[in-house]
Amino acid sequence: MSQADHVLRRGALRRGDSGPRVSALRDLLLRAGVDVPGAPRPGGAGPDGTGPDGTGPDGTEELDTFGTALEQAVRAFQQARGLRADGVVGRQTSRALDGARWRLGDRVLRYVPGHLLHGDDVVALQSRLLSLGLLDDRRDGRYGPRTEAGVQELQRSCGTAADGVVGPATVDALRRLDRSVGGGDASALRDAERTAQARRRTGHVVLVHPAHGGDDPGALGHGLREADVVLDLAQRLEGRLAASGTAVVLSRGATQEPSAEDAADLADAVGADVVLALHCDALTPVRGSADPARLPASPARGVATFSWGSATSRSVEGARLAGLVHREVLARTGLADLRTHTWDTDVLRLTRMPAVRVELGYLTSPEDAAELADPAFRDRCAEALAAAVHRFFLEADQDVPTGLLPVVAAPSG
């Protein structure tokens, strides 16, 4: 079990938690180069004069307590990494912390099916392979079969054994080549070319990924479950896109709970042109302040859309699709505008095609929840999403103003 797995073995960490997992989190932040107030530094005093064990002269420093200072350090790390800066250490943040401790050359990299290595060293490797034209994928930070194929091609060109294992000799070859290669974002160029090819075809394929499902209800509020709301939205969207000749694949039914990796693999398998991940949001209270199953009303409300982006790169076509989705939803529903953002979250990072995550309202908002409970409102949301998908594949001279593209209604019955 990795240290990141240890941190999350009993669920997400947030302000108000305490215990050994919090101490492990502090260690992960330090290894990632984050300045953690009051945390001990290897072999000496802390930044404010604390001793090697992190306790100050008055004994008030608590290394196993998740307080405000630690939350601020987590938020700073999340913001720098393109993650959602909510101060909660969930799966995404924990994985990023675990990966941040690796630099290219620190360890031997190889493809192990079912146990993919991930980390900053893999991202650095993928960036260099992309610049050399040896990788046809984005920098997802996983040492998978496409990355292995790129390494093997590099090794063949250098006259070494093409075993796909990145050891000292392969790292040295990359460093020598770095001095002669540069310029451009190969990943962005590939994104644009994929969209151009899809635009020239008829019969597009859209993967719709309604979040959660199975035993995971997602966000809760005002009698609504996120998993139910987004599945209903997905089915309404499926009908509208199918009626206009677009093939739609849903990643789940009512009882399934596919992971982000499952959704990305399915998108590849069906040859999806775009991916839409549907979510609703909720303002979760600090642990211990309320029953998480009965979330209080909150002032937070509105729609936000996200495309893939990290500290070093982004999906240009994903950002364009996110903008179209966001504007259509605003024009057709009247939800509050929470803007478009980049986010280095799994379902966006792992998909090769343009992908958008849309957060359609807050279930903890009385106003948003009342709208989302209305079937007519869900129809308008589905129309907005369908219009955005259609516009994404139009040539510039064929596009229409936001909110005016007619959408074929789903067949009745």
215 with 133, same domain? no
The pTM of this model reads: 0.76
Number of structural domains (the chain) is 3
pLDDT score of 305: 97
168 with 287, same domain? no
Q: Give every CB contact of residue 94 below 8 A, 6+ residues apart in sequence.
A: 4, 5, 7, 8, 28
Residue 111 placed within a domain: no
Paired sense of beta strands 355-362 and 337-343, if any: unpaired
399 SS3 class: coil
Residue 264 placed within a domain: yes
Encoded amino acid at 177, one letter: L
202 with 226, same domain? yes
pLDDT score of 44: 45
Which residue reads 């909110």 in tokens? 403
pLDDT score of 49: 44
Residue 55 placed within a domain: yes
Residue 115 placed within a domain: no
pLDDT score of 232: 98
- Cα 87 to its chain centre, rounded Å, is 16
pLDDT score of 236: 97
Half-sphere exposure of 31 (CA within 13 A, CB side): 19
171 with 232, same domain? no
pLDDT score of 295: 52
pLDDT (tens, 9 = 90+) of the chain, 413 residues, equals 566 666 666 688 999 998 888 988 998 999 888 888 765 544 444 444 444 333 444 444 478 889 999 999 999 999 888 888 889 998 889 989 999 989 999 999 999 998 899 999 999 999 889 888 888 767 788 899 999 999 999 999 888 889 999 999 999 988 887 655 455 566 666 777 778 888 888 889 999 999 999 999 999 999 999 999 999 999 999 999 999 899 999 999 999 999 999 999 999 999 999 999 999 999 865 444 445 455 555 678 999 999 998 877 788 899 999 999 999 999 999 999 999 999 988 899 999 899 999 999 999 999 999 999 999 999 999 999 999 999 999 887 778 888 778 787 766 65
Contact 224, 372 (CB under 8 A): yes
86 with 136, same domain? no
pLDDT score of 179: 52
pLDDT score of 135: 86
* Backbone phi and psi for residue 149, each to the nearest 5 degrees, phi listed first: -65, -40
42 with 80, same domain? yes
Residue 114 placed within a domain: no
Residue 110 placed within a domain: no
DSSP string, 56-123: -TTS---TTB--HHHHHHHHHHHHHTTS--SS-B-HHHHHHHHHTT--TTSS-B---TTS--BSHHHH
**Tens of pLDDT, residues 306-348:** 999 887 778 889 999 999 999 999 999 999 999 999 998 889 9
pLDDT score of 298: 65
Spatial CA neighbour of 139 closest among 121, 154, 126, 149 = 126
CATH (domain of 126): 1.10.101.10
Domain containing residue 203: 189-398
CA diameter of the chain: 73
34 SS3 class: coil
